[in-house]
Amino acid sequence: MADQVYRLGDSGAAVRQIVHLLRQLGLLPATTTAAVDDPVYDEDVDRAVRAFQQQRGLIVDGVVGPSTYRRLEEARWRLGDRVLNHRPGQPLAGDDVLALQGRLLELGFKVGRVDGIFGAQTDQGLRDFQRNIGVPADGTCGPATLKALRRLSPIVSGGAPNALRAEERIRAAGPQLAGKVVVLDPVAHDRVAELSADLAALADDAVHDIARRVEGRLVPLGVQAHLTRAGAVPAAGSGGGRRVADRRESATESDRAAFANRVRADLSVTLQVDGSPHPDAGGVSSYFYGVEGHGVWSSAGERFAGLVQREIVARTDLTDLRSHPKTWDILRRTAMPAVRLDLGYATHAPDAARLADPAFRDVVAEAIVVAVQRFYLSPETDTRTGMMTLGQLREALERLDR
């Protein structure tokens, strides 16, 4: 697939594989018009792709690009179809890994985020399980380990153990922002660029300016802010407390997530401005890692996304498009709570006017920083949404410390 994109009217070997995977998943019956030997990407295939994208928390556009194709490949695996183990640099990913993580978590073993990616934490959780059941702790999920997993069932269920651990980590981090690491990731939205070069320039300027304003408020508080630029990630090992990308080439979501993991960020915030061919579409929305209806989500990411969403809505007149779970790589592959904010629609005239206003950008930046601070506050010390500036919130914290 590489960077190829497939849509209505296409044909060839890749489309044949897409049709095969959709049929394997039960999303495209064998009775559809798509021929078996030489299928065409027709309307039946388009509908099946959209259904899959909806199920998996992807952008629903009926187009199979690298991300959708990779998820189709991952979805075909069931636990037991292949031997699973940790492969640094090229981790296995799939629904079988997701099932393994879920089983281990239910049995009380830590696996990190349940994301379907066999990383180091999943490897450690599997080895701990193997030691407990008396099989070689080699980190390989083979026949003996599978047999034990199927034989054992958790004594208790529910309680969202990962959510409880996340709450404990946040509590242990303390309310002060000094020493915390935040990645700010302003990115131009391709959809805006496709519609208008002028609006794309406005969107790009807005998200970068807001990111700089957020950074300008965080750094005096002792936060180590990492600001990416033009979708490029800072080079590894660059010095200084603030790292800014010097390269102009585009970085993928996986690249940017890997950077956030590399600098051990506490929070990651991606800033975008959306666009639509429908001029009435407008408003602010936030996104966190999760698959709706599958019980897979980042509880901390959901909480942070909700805080930012509510602060922005309370301080501006942007339409509230709410928070939503998604499985985009920038949310799925980050080890820390991560959110993506769509700060209005450049194609919506009222939103575009707001985004061009420096005073509005300042209000949005203040809302984001207040949400960052509130994320680390206990219910006893938290304040009402949209009611305080960052300075007032910090003063209240200082009074509590006395």
CA distances from 301 to 52, 267, 286, 297, 308 (A): 23, 9, 10, 8, 11
309 within some domain: yes
Q: Rounded to 5 degrees, what angle do the CA atoms 342, 344, 347 make?
A: 120
pLDDT above 90 (res 62) = yes
Which band of pLDDT confidence, cut at 50, 70 and 90, is reported for residue 330? Answer: very high
Give tens-digit pLDDT for 103-131: 998 888 999 889 999 999 999 999 999 99
Q: Can you say whether residue 102 is alpha, beta or left, with left for phi > 0 and alpha for psi between -120 and 50 degrees?
A: alpha
pLDDT confidence of residue 161: 65
CA distances from 179 to 185, 252, 382 (A): 19, 28, 20
Supply the Cα-derived Rg of the chain in whole angstroms.
22
pLDDT above 60 (res 238) = no
pLDDT confidence of residue 245: 39
181 within some domain: yes
- The reply to whether 149 and 70 lie within a common domain is no
Higher pLDDT, residue 324 or 160: 324
Longest dimension (CA), the chain: 75
CA distances from 325 to 9, 56, 285, 307 (A): 31, 10, 11, 14
Q: Which domain holds residue 51?
A: 13-75
Tokens 């965080």 -> residue: 218
pLDDT above 80 (res 311) = yes
Which band of pLDDT confidence, cut at 50, 70 and 90, is reported for residue 248? Answer: very low
Half-sphere exposure of 111 (CA within 13 A, CB side): 25
- The reply to whether 225 and 99 lie within a common domain is no
- The reply to whether 49 and 144 lie within a common domain is no
Type of residue at 5: V
Q: Which of 80-94, 151-165, 288-302 has the lowest mean pLDDT?
A: 151-165
Name the domain boundary from 43, 58, 75: 75
- The reply to whether 68 and 84 lie within a common domain is no
Give tens-digit pLDDT for 347-391: 999 999 999 999 999 999 999 999 999 999 876 566 667 767 777
- The reply to whether 146 and 291 lie within a common domain is no
- The reply to whether 337 and 218 lie within a common domain is yes
- The reply to whether 208 and 287 lie within a common domain is yes
- The reply to whether 145 and 222 lie within a common domain is no
- The reply to whether 275 and 376 lie within a common domain is yes
Which band of pLDDT confidence, cut at 50, 70 and 90, is reported for residue 159? Answer: very low
Q: pTM (2 decimals)?
A: 0.82
- The reply to whether 276 and 223 lie within a common domain is yes
Average pLDDT, the chain: 86
CATH number for 138: 1.10.101.10
- The reply to whether 293 and 381 lie within a common domain is yes
pLDDT confidence of residue 354: 97
pLDDT above 50 (res 99) = yes
206 within some domain: yes
251 within some domain: yes
CATH number for 270: 3.40.630.40
Q: Tell me how many domains the chain contains.
A: 3
- The reply to whether 250 and 277 lie within a common domain is yes
pLDDT confidence of residue 31: 65
Give tens-digit pLDDT for 250-265: 688 999 999 999 999 9
pLDDT confidence of residue 237: 45
5 within some domain: no
Tokens 């599978």 -> residue: 146
6 within some domain: no
CA distances from 314 to 178, 243, 342 (A): 26, 31, 16
Tokens of 271: 């800033």
149 within some domain: yes
Q: What is the mean pLDDT of residues 292-316?
A: 89
pLDDT above 90 (res 296) = no
Tokens of 173: 């981090």
